[in-house]
Structure 1
Amino acid sequence: MMHAVHDLMFLYLLTCLGQNGHGSEIINGKNVPQNSMQYMASVQIDGKHVCGGFLVSEDFVLTAAHCYKNSPMEVVIGTHNLKKVKRKKMRYSVKTCKHPQYDKAQSGNDIMLLKLSRKLQLDKKVKPIQLARTEIKAKDNVKCQVAGWGSTETSVKAVDVLRWVDVPLIALKTCTKIFKGKLPEGVICAGGYDTENGFCQGDSGGPLVCNRTAVGVVSFNIDGNCKYPNWPNVYTDISTHLSWIKNILNKKQC
């Protein structure tokens, strides 16, 4: 009986992923030093931060598809402190380019490009990040980080200053077992399991960075629960969408 109740609860949590996975906060992290992570972007609606993102060219920011809202979206680039935004220089309106096969976060393809209203000027505060060309695996034993402007624990107000934390990669076989086979294809698991470090509400769309390369996009966790180390964090695998990304970057349109 207890097993049946547990399975029902687990299924319920999975149905909540699409609603609660968006926006993620950095758990157990620290402030990002100035003049580092110059690729980070704040995705905003009505001047308020809703998701993270990251600069991949002079014209485009990459984020999660579930960050899309049926409202005009903007991005802020060039500052770690969202209270210090020079509107004309740092704020850009955008055109949204959701992955054509996206439905909901737990179904995969949770990725979106945002075309900037104007080409930005690259400098010491603004630099794009390199994208992964091949799949990364836990056995590669690399050091990875995730960053964002979300809150520092479940249901706590988001922060104004960008924060980051180290997160270990989790073998996909292990992650799939924990999710009882309910993981979509084309994802990476890192943090949240066997560690207190991870993400939560406030930072979806931010990058998973390994060896200074963006390998994943923050997608979802379990029901917005950030009391780790019980559940893995799930990211969209950038390498599986590289051709789609490059096609849009080359055409400079969706």
Structure 2
Amino acid sequence: MWPLLLLVAFLLSPRAQAGQIIGGREARPHSRPYMAYIQTLTPAGPTICGGFLVREDFVMTAARCLGSQINVILGIHSVTASEWTQQRIPVLRPIPHPRYNQRNNQNDIMLLQGDSGGPLVCSNVAQGIVSYGDRMGTPPAVFTRISSFLPWIRRTMRRFQEWRPE
């Protein structure tokens, strides 16, 4: 049975190391192939987010992970070691929710379209994505409920299904 809470965002305390698991335990290597490690370049510098595949060409994450350059890494187990299973995919089109408000984190959800934000999983179903939490390293306090955004997710994925850059 999966634990009630899968920590997907890398919420680090000032004393934590990159990739350290806080409030959870290490998963069996490559047992969660849908998990995504997201590296983003923002005006404030590089940031790291979690996310997960919702289709072979879409990743779901938090809208606060938006940046000028976004790379999704799949097949990763260790963020500090290079593994032959890793696939680095540049994001072609990030699609934040149109009503995302970065001041209060409302509608903090984004789809990232790749060439081919970490879920809260209950009973093997993704129920939420980490929105934000305590910077002291406690488990995330706020999640975005995916079911509230299903019409937008379906509409957006349908609209961009055939979109490819020129």
Give the TM-score normalised by structure 2. 0.74
How far apart are the structure 1 equivalents of 2:30 and 2:83?
16
Change (3 A) 1:85 1:248: farther
Aligned pair partner of 1:75 in 69, 72, 75? 72
1:8-23 aligned at under 5 Å gives the runs 23=10
Q: Does 1:217 align with 2:118?
A: no
Mapped contact 1:60–1:114 kept (Cα < 8 A) = yes
Secondary structure of 1:114 counterpart: strand
Change (3 A) 1:114 1:57: same
Aligned to 1:111: 109
Moved over 3 A (4+): none
Mapped contact 1:34–1:80 kept (Cα < 8 A) = yes
Aligned to 2:27: 32
1:89-168 aligned at under 5 Å gives the runs 90-94=87-91, 95-104=93-102, 106-116=104-114, 118-119=115-116
Please provide the CA RMSD for this pair: 2.4
Aligned pair partner of 1:226 in 137, 143, 146? 137
Secondary structure of 1:225 counterpart: coil
- Unmatched 5+ stretches in structure 1: 1-21, 120-204
Change (3 A) 1:56 1:100: same
Mapped contact 2:61–2:118 kept (Cα < 8 A) = yes
Query: Larger radius of gyration, structure 1 or 2?
Result: 1
Question: Aligned AA for 2:123?
Answer: N
Question: Aligned AA for 1:209?
Answer: V
Mapped contact 2:105–2:131 kept (Cα < 8 A) = no
CA-CA distance at 1:34 after TM superposition = 2.0
CA-CA distance at 1:61 after TM superposition = 0.4
Secondary structure of 1:76 counterpart: strand
CA-CA distance at 1:86 after TM superposition = 4.9
Aligned to 2:157: 249
1:58-99 deviation line (CA, Å, top 9, x unaligned): 110000000112x21110011212322459x60111121000
Kindly indicate which of the two structures has a greater share of residues assigned to helix.
Answer: 1
CA-CA distance at 1:113 after TM superposition = 0.4
- Unmatched 5+ stretches in structure 2: 1-8, 13-20
Total equivalences in the alignment: 139
1:35-54 aligned at under 5 Å gives the runs 35-45=30-40, 50-54=48-52
Change (3 A) 1:105 1:207: farther
Change (3 A) 1:105 1:79: farther
Identity %: 40
